[in-house]
Structures are given as C-alpha cells and as structure tokens.
C-alpha cells in the first residue's frame, strides 16, 4: 500500500473520488481529520491507502484557529476604542483614566492570546 502512495506523490493528483455520506458520517470524518490537524483529503488518503501524512497538508488545530480569530476580533475592538478616544478628544470631555485602563486591559488580553498562539 505504501508503494502505491509513493507513486501517487510523484504525480500530480487530478483524479477525484466522490462518495455519499450521511451528515453524521461526514461530521465524524471531518472531526477525525481536525483531531489529526490535517485536511479531509489527507485523512482519507491516510485511511484508504495507509499513506503517511504529507507535511504540507497539516493545518493548525481548531484551538489555534479559534485563538487567531479571537485575536483578530480584539484588534477590531481596539480600533473601535481608539476611534472613540479620538472622537472624545475632539468633541466631548471624557474620563481619560477609565479609557486608558480599558485600552491597557485590551492590550493585556491581546498579548496573552499572542503568547498562547506562539507557545503551542
């Protein structure tokens, strides 16, 4: 089986195999692939051909993807807070200490998330 896979690696993959699955079967395959941090295609080749997992097919685990999305959302929140601060500086008096504390708390959360993403 491994010899078959090694021959496939040398050639471009242009053949496609379609199968019908129940929603539960599809979810199970998707979850199993995610646990291995690989694509569904790489997972199916691993199962069907007993093939090694190619390095390029590895994906970040679900937790890392989620942390990255959260980090992006925090960046947007920080941008909104900066816009509020600019508006407050221009037109309306505001509590500078409270706004500074909010920005610092947001920076702290952002730095912790970045640390978590880099140290997995």
Examine the domain organization and report whether 49 and 67 are in the same domain. no
Q: Print the domain residue range for 29.
A: 2-57
For residues 120 and 67, the answer to whether their CB atoms sit within 8 Å is no
pLDDT in the model for residue 20: 93
pLDDT digits (tens, 9 = 90+) for 20-66: 999 999 999 988 888 887 888 888 988 888 887 766 555 666 677 77
Q: How many residues does the chain have?
A: 120
Structure tokens at 2: 């491994």
Which residue, of 39, 57, 75, is where some domain finishes?
Answer: 57
User: How far from chain centre, in Å, is Cα 84?
Assistant: 30
Q: Of the candidates 16, 13, 50, 47, which has an alpha carbon nearest to the alpha carbon of residue 29? A: 47
Q: For residue 59, is it left (φ>0), alpha (ψ between -120 and 50) or beta?
A: beta
Could you tell me if 10 and 27 lie in one domain? yes
Q: Say how far residue 1 (Cα) sits from the centre of its chain.
A: 32
Q: Tell whether 66 and 53 lie within a shared domain.
A: no
pLDDT in the model for residue 41: 87
pLDDT band at 72 (very low <50, low <70, confident <90, very high): confident
Task: Say if residue 95 is in the same domain as residue 114.
Answer: yes
Please tell me whether the overall predicted TM-score, pTM, comes out greater than 0.95 for this model.
no
């Amino acid at each position: 089986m491994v010899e078959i896979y090694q021959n496939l690696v040398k050639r471009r993959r242009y053949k496609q195999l379609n199968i019908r699955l129940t929603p539960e079967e599809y979810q199970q395959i998707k979850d199993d692939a995610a646990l291995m941090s690989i694509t569904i295609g790489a997972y199916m080749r691993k199962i069907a051909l007993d093939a090694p997992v190619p390095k390029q097919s590895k994906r970040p685990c679900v937790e890392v993807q989620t942390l990255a999305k959260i980090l992006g959302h925090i960046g947007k929140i920080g941008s909104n807070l900066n816009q509020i601060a600019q508006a407050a500086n221009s037109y309306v008096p505001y509590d500078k200490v409270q706004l500074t504390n909010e920005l610092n708390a947001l920076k702290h959360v952002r730095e912790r998330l970045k640390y978590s993403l880099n140290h997995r």
